[in-house]
Amino acid sequence: MKIAVVGAGSTYTPELVSGLSREREAIDVSELVLHDVDAERLDVVGSLAQRMLLHQGFEGRLESTGELDRALDGADFVLIQIRVGGQEARFQDETVPLACGCIGQETTGAGGLAKAFRTVPVVLSIAEQVRERAADGAWIVDFTNPVGIVTRALLDAGHRAVGLCNVAIGFQRSFARWLDVEPARLVVDQVGLNHLTWVRAVHLDGDDVLSQLLADHGDELADELELPHRLFDELGAIPSYYLRYFYAHDRVLAEQLGGTPRAARVMEIERELLEQRGGAFYSEAAVGLVRSLASGDGAVHEVDLRNAGTLEGLADDDVVEVPARVERDEITPLPQEPLAPELLGLVQHVAAYERLAAQAAEQGDLAVARKALLAHPLIGQDELAGELLEPLLAQREAPV
């Protein structure tokens, strides 16, 4: 089996490569190809990956290349983790909205639209080359943000694709540590849209232990998510960290206006710690998903895919983030109870935005982009949309 990693200059890549090597009996990887347009970063990451594979006794072939065609030729899985425009573009995504009095975040709200506008055309171009050059039936696994919008664009274009995020696996690992159990025994029932999800149940060997976790560790969760414990009890669910931008909007905005943009901090970290930074569970989530698709082990993974009736109140072609059972070449969402009104209303609102954002990014349509800003609950005003549109999309032709 050949696996290609596009955007392999990412600091997540060494952990990803190491995980694929450890799972080589289940995945049977014979060839790993790392691709990036940044030769310097690729050299650093590729050299580290090579040392890790040698240490693990990997007998397959590892190649680093700046030629996309070479990376994709005959690939069975293509993992895409690119950042179009780099951290400099992220800095714009996070600061332009702040100047207009809006939340500055690279995947949520106005910054997410700018990122989608830059990213979707590039990912679709890569996907077309996957269609032409990869093995028949090859899977595209996307962890390129904004994952929900990018995955929707891929599926709209008819590609065999699934989206992946690390929020659910992060919860799973924390819960397993608190319960002193192996993570594989836990299924985190996290539902919604990418970066707009709630954990409504946590199944330990089939039994829901969410109430126990909230009782024993609710204050700890509240500190980590920077939301009140009371809110979790009232919702009967644990919101993802990204719900802070909605549930604590004014406080977060004030913090952002008085602080250092996250992009600036990340740029400094990457300069100093490229060879040391871990994968924040992205690698484990990706390796697990590839393993299940290749081996048909039937494990449950949190993925982004078509709704197809999974969540009532959303269109079948909306892209939702839910737990799904993964067999060989087949992904089936677990059945879900309807969302409570206080969750469904927000999800419907943002799903409408994502539909418009994907369309705008695919077509390069500024009028539709303006509608997307109007549809988003963190913006939603005509003057704001007009003020944001030009500076937000100034970076849309930034290089990969």
How do residues 234-286 score in pLDDT, each as one tens digit?
Answer: 999 999 999 999 999 999 999 999 876 655 555 555 544 443 444 468 889 99
Instruction: Give the up-direction half-sphere exposure of residue 215: CA atoms within 13 A in the CB hemisphere.
Output: 5
Local confidence band at 400 (pLDDT 50, 70, 90 cut-offs):
very low
The answer on pLDDT for 398 being more than 60 is no
| pLDDT recorded at residue 134 | 98
Provide the b/e sequence for 206-221 (b: ≥16 CB within 10 Å). Answer: eeebbeebbeebbeeb
The pLDDT mean for the chain works out to 92
The answer on pLDDT for 230 being more than 80 is yes
335: preceding bond cis by omega (within 30 degrees): no
Local confidence band at 22 (pLDDT 50, 70, 90 cut-offs):
confident
What is the length of the chain? 400
Write out pLDDT tens, residues 117-156.
Answer: 999 999 999 999 999 999 999 999 999 999 999 999 999 9
pTM to 2 decimals?
Answer: 0.93
Instruction: Give the up-direction half-sphere exposure of residue 160: CA atoms within 13 A in the CB hemisphere.
Output: 17
| pLDDT recorded at residue 266 | 55
Provide the b/e sequence for 247-263 (b: ≥16 CB within 10 Å). Answer: bbeeebbeebeeeebbb
What is the gyration radius of the CA atoms in the chain, in angstroms? 20
Residue with tokens 């190809």: 33
Local confidence band at 24 (pLDDT 50, 70, 90 cut-offs):
confident
Write out pLDDT tens, residues 331-380.
Answer: 999 999 999 999 999 999 999 999 999 999 999 999 999 999 999 999 99
- Of 99, 91, 145, 73, whose CA–CA distance to 266 is shortest? 91
Residue with tokens 């979707």: 120
Write out pLDDT tens, residues 26-81.
Answer: 888 999 999 999 999 999 999 999 999 999 998 889 999 999 999 999 999 999 99
| pLDDT recorded at residue 397 | 52
Write out pLDDT tens, residues 306-324.
Answer: 999 999 999 999 999 999 9
Percent of the chain with pLDDT over 90: 83
- 241 in catalytic set: no
- Of 306, 380, 308, whose CA–CA distance to 346 is shortest? 380
How far is Cα 167 from Cα 107, in angstroms, rounded to an integer? 14
How far is Cα 322 from Cα 83, in angstroms, rounded to an integer? 24
Active-site entry in 12, 241, 242, 247: 242
| pLDDT recorded at residue 329 | 84
Return the number of other C-beta atoms located less than 10 Å from residue 53's C-beta: 21
| pLDDT recorded at residue 393 | 86
The answer on pLDDT for 190 being more than 60 is yes
Instruction: Give the up-direction half-sphere exposure of residue 134: CA atoms within 13 A in the CB hemisphere.
Output: 28
H/E/C letters for each residue in the chain? CEEEEECCCCCCHHHHHHHHHHCHHHHCCCEEEEECCCHHHHHHHHHHHHHHHHHHCCCCEEEEECCHHHHHCCCCEEEECCCCCHHHHHHHHHHHHHHCCCCCCCCCCHHHHHHHHHHHHHHHHHHHHHHHHCCCCCEEEECCCCHHHHHHHHHHCCCCEEECCCHHHHHHHHHHHHHCCCHHHEEEEEEEECCEEEEEEEEECCEECHHHHHHHHHHHHHHHHCCCHHHHHHHCCEECHHHHHHHCHHHHHHHHHHCCCHHHHHHHHHHHHCCCCCCCCHHHHHHHHHHHHHHCCCCEEEEEEECCCCCCCCCCCCEEEEEEEEECCEEEECCCCCCCHHHHHHHHHHHHHHHHHHHHHHHCCHHHHHHHHHHCCCCCCHHHHHHHHHHHHHHCCCCC
Cα torsion 311, 312, 315, 321 to 10°: value is -10
| pLDDT recorded at residue 26 | 86
Provide the b/e sequence for 357-373 (b: ≥16 CB within 10 Å). Answer: bbbbbbeeeeebbbbbb
| pLDDT recorded at residue 23 | 86
CA distances from 320 to 302, 305, 324, 355 (A): 10, 6, 11, 12
